Amino acid sequence: MISPAGALSPPPADRARGNRAWNQASGTRGSTARVPPEILHIVQHQVDEISRALAQLERGSPFWISLRESGLSFEMLGWKFRFSVEADKLVLTAAEPVPAQVT
């Protein structure tokens, strides 16, 4: 089950670098070391909102099945964040800057 209190925590190396905005409820395999703390705070808020919504859905629903198979990703403030689902928790697998688009 995804905890409404939060779904992510950085690895110990990231916590040592000051990225303390993440809740301790789950884990991460992607480094957040390069992501500015203020962006991590905003992303954590978004993940909390997503977690609350997901907690309302049946675990066997087509959405959950798709989420487990495909994961979740979103872009925010010039960064792309990718998540997998492990034990019904969102786990950050990648955080990388979005390349600037040439128009």
pLDDT in 10s for each residue of the chain, 103 residues = 333 333 444 433 443 433 333 333 345 556 788 899 999 999 999 999 999 999 999 999 999 999 999 999 999 999 999 999 988 888 999 999 998 888 7
Give pTM, 2 decimals: 0.69
Under a CB-based contact definition with an 8 Å cutoff, are residues 40 and 19 in contact?
A: yes
Q: What is the pLDDT of residue 30?
A: 62
Long-range own/partner contacts, residues 53-57 (CB < 8 A, 24 or more apart): 54/2, 54/90, 55/1, 55/2, 55/4
